[in-house]
Amino acid sequence: MKRIRQPIIAVLGHVDHGKTTLLDKIRKTNVAGKEAGGITQHIGATEVPIDVVKQIAGPLLKLWKGEIKLPGLLFIDTPGHEAFTSLRARGGSLADLAILIVDINEGFQPQTIESIEILRRYKTPFIVAANKIDRIKGWKIQEWEPFLVNIKKQDQRAVQELETKLWELIGKFYEIGFQANRFDRVQDFTRELAIVPISAKYGIGVPELLVLIAGLSQKYLEQKLKIEVEGPARGTILEVREEPGLGTTIDVIIYDGTLHKDDTIVVGGKDKAIVTKIRALLKPKPLDEIRDPRFRFDQVDEVVAAAGVKIAAPNLEEALAGSPVIACRSEEEIEKAKQEILNQIKSVVISTDKVGVIVKADTLGSLEALSKELQEKNIPIRKADVGNISKTDVMEALSVKEEKPLYGVVLGFNVKVNEDAEEIAKAKGVPIFVGNIIYKIIEDYEAWVKAEEEKRKKELLAKTIFPGVIRLFPDERYVFRRSHPAIVGVEVLEGRIKPGYTLIKQNGQKVGTIKSIKSKNDFLQEAKKGEAVAIAIDGAIVGRHIHPGEILYVDLSRDDAIRLVKELRDMLDETDIKALKMIAKVKAREDPFWAAL
Ligand code: GDP
């Protein structure tokens, strides 16, 4: 029997922008003086039956022409982008639709941007709740009022301020490629992002938000929401939890089929598929019926998608948040499910001996999200795994560091760094980048790479000798001193010279070391092509080793040449290259290495 299930809805947005307040408000719908009861608490989710939506919405439902056939809406209780990334299903997101909440007074913040990136990556449709409109100066509050009714009561000034703030928000969306508009001005919901101004605290605009979610789901997601009710259940693990008296349990959102209390399930573990038989299906007891906190759950015989349920079963200790749950009714189905789950894990949890970064995350989904982002930036990954950052991770990064310093790092999303891992990382200089915003973790890493590269370049620059070719002036008048040290006037023909550089003759013979460079009365740290300067050369005697008019070359080592050509290439200009070629020609007589340069 086919039926349309409840769409699964996630709430995302920056910290303090009102995600929890909105969810709480939705949960308290029936306390709002309306008749509509029936909000049901699931495990990890809250269900708003369609009758409740209809009663709250009243005449607003006319916004949607066709009849709403959805049984209701299922809101995921844990808001935020971290939780969202663990809601994997079928390679995409478990959430059918999302609400992106933005504090209208604060606008875009880092986690707003991160949320949008994640929604975009998962191709999850969303609508925007522009929250805290009650904070606008002089705003008149009426609990649970539809926005379109509430706005009519506001004075001109407040309306104007709201419009300005909305325009700012619309502008921000435009900058990142979204056409957005206030929901009642949207012409085509497939092209424009709808913004509903709300006050989560007072419920203003929440009626429209619910109607819009129901209507959009009905209109655009009907095919996806049509499920075979009797079919075997499929779901995603939200959380793996230890429960007193129950052992390790998994909190699961079922998005397809029906789960029976005596089903066999296959779930994803760290590196394996776990096959286990359900011991109990549990739902939370209504709050007013919890007399003893040890008995917070009721057993049920079955759950029909979409629903949140706690599953108690043996062998769940190694189950992985974010991995699939597939109910099976035959050996054949079990085998198929095992294969499917293993393939999914293998595509995310990777372990290689490649030179690359170490990636850790709290769930399979967030690991996948972080890894994908790194791959898009062509940052190679050696290992990607779920869990806190351990000593082993740091040791592995250290071994990479020896080969490729810039990849010898650990990146972690929403994970802790174990104490011993932290210690060894500090001692061995292995950088760890952790956080709960994917793009920030990567930005921090990239900034570090850039700084390291610059540091390395500076070090290289400091120890690399640059090529230079000079000529002593032919006139004897420019021999200022013949020896100890010899001081002569020279012109730099190509490249550059610096104090400390050793000079050689055309035949490769060493002349001595430049002690100082002087122009008029100033000592210089460098003289470049075209400059005429006086140099003091330690170890040379004019008339014996060098003669007026002679051409001299800076002596380079093979290492200098390799660094110049390979790593400092962009620091060389045309004349440096000419000088390098001239020096190579001189040195090639003795060493074939230079001929090949
Ligand atoms: P979260 O971090 O996104 O879950 O944000 P919260 O729901 O915890 O809200 C953060 C703060 O903003 C709390 O002090 C809320 O009371 C307040 N807040 C949330 N929504 C509104 C609203 O619509 N109006 C006002 N005035 N305050 C709000």
Range of the domain at 146: 2-225
- Domain assignment present for 456: no
Mean pLDDT computed over every residue of the chain:
92
77 annotated as a binding-site residue: yes
Best residue for ligand 1 mutational test, from 11, 12, 14, 16 (most atoms within 8 Å of Cβ): 16
Give yes or no: residues 208 and 253 share one domain.
no
Split at pLDDT 50, 70, 90, the class of 52 is confident
92 annotated as a binding-site residue: no
Give the pLDDT confidence score for residue 519 in this predicted structure: 94
16 annotated as a binding-site residue: yes
Give yes or no: residues 302 and 390 share one domain.
no
Alpha helices in 349-418 (DSSP H): 364-376, 391-403
Give the pLDDT confidence score for residue 597 in this predicted structure: 78
Split at pLDDT 50, 70, 90, the class of 35 is very low
* Other residues' Cβ atoms within 10 Å of the Cβ of residue 419: 9
- Domain assignment present for 399: yes
Interval 579-588 mean pLDDT: 95
20 annotated as a binding-site residue: yes
Distance of CA 282 to the CA centre of its chain: 35
Split at pLDDT 50, 70, 90, the class of 89 is confident
Give the pLDDT confidence score for residue 64 in this predicted structure: 64
Task: Give, using CA atoms, the residue closest to atom 11 of ligand 1.
Answer: 16
Give the pLDDT confidence score for residue 446 in this predicted structure: 97
CATH number at residue 525: 2.40.30.10
> Looking at per-residue confidence, does 87 or 154 come out higher?
154
484 annotated as a binding-site residue: no
Q: Which atom of ligand 1 is nearest to the CA of 131?
A: 23
Give the pLDDT confidence score for residue 431 in this predicted structure: 97
Q: How far is the CA of 356 from the centre of ligand 1 (A)?
A: 41
Q: Which atom of ligand 1 is nearest to the CA of 79?
A: 4
Give the pLDDT confidence score for residue 66 in this predicted structure: 66
Q: Is a pLDDT exceeding 90 seen at residue 392? A: yes
Beta carbons of 75 and 23 less than 8 angstroms apart: yes
Best residue for ligand 1 mutational test, from 15, 21, 132 (most atoms within 8 Å of Cβ): 21
Give yes or no: residues 26 and 106 share one domain.
yes
Q: Which residues contact 97 (CB under 8 A, 6 or more apart)?
A: 7, 8, 9, 10, 124, 125, 126, 127, 213, 216, 217, 221
- Domain assignment present for 457: no
Give yes or no: residues 288 and 413 share one domain.
no
Beta carbons of 166 and 133 less than 8 angstroms apart: no
Q: Which atom of ligand 1 is nearest to the CA of 21?
A: 7
Ligand 1 proximal residues by C-beta, below 6 Å: 13, 15-21, 79, 131-132, 134-135, 199-201
Give the pLDDT confidence score for residue 303 in this predicted structure: 94
Q: How far is the CA of 16 from the centre of ligand 1 (A)?
A: 6
Split at pLDDT 50, 70, 90, the class of 39 is confident
* pTM (global) more than 0.90: no
Give yes or no: residues 83 and 160 share one domain.
yes
Q: How far is the CA of 534 from the centre of ligand 1 (A)?
A: 73
DSSP string, 111-164: HHHHHHHHHHHHT--EEEEEE-GGGSTTPPP-TT--HHHHGGGS-HHHHHHHHH
Task: Give, using CA atoms, the residue closest to atom 20 of ligand 1.
Answer: 18
Give yes or no: residues 37 and 100 share one domain.
yes
Beta carbons of 363 and 86 less than 8 angstroms apart: yes
Give the pLDDT confidence score for residue 37 in this predicted structure: 60
Q: Is a pLDDT exceeding 60 seen at residue 189? A: yes
Beta carbons of 82 and 347 less than 8 angstroms apart: no
Split at pLDDT 50, 70, 90, the class of 1 is confident
Under DSSP, the state recorded for 105 is T
Give the pLDDT confidence score for residue 30 in this predicted structure: 57
Q: How far is the CA of 183 from the centre of ligand 1 (A)?
A: 22
Instruction: Mark which of 172, 202, 225 sits at the end of a domain.
Output: 225
Give yes or no: residues 101 and 202 share one domain.
yes
Q: Is a pLDDT exceeding 70 seen at residue 498? A: yes
The catalytic residues are: 81
- Domain assignment present for 199: yes
Give yes or no: residues 216 and 130 share one domain.
yes
61-70, 416-425, 518-527: the lowest-pLDDT one: 61-70
Give the pLDDT confidence score for residue 289 in this predicted structure: 67
The residue assigned the tokens 């550089």 is 501
**What are the C-alpha distances in Å from 499 to residues 462, 526, 572?**
13, 7, 19
Give yes or no: residues 12 and 92 share one domain.
yes
Give the pLDDT confidence score for residue 561 in this predicted structure: 93
What is the per-residue pLDDT across 292-331, written as a single tens digit (0 to 9) for each? Answer: 766 788 999 999 999 999 999 999 999 999 899 999 989 9
Give yes or no: residues 388 and 519 share one domain.
no
Domain count, the chain: 4
Interval 387-409 mean pLDDT: 96
Q: How far is the CA of 196 from the centre of ligand 1 (A)?
A: 16
Instruction: Mark which of 167, 202, 225 sits at the end of a domain.
Output: 225
Give the pLDDT confidence score for residue 567 in this predicted structure: 85
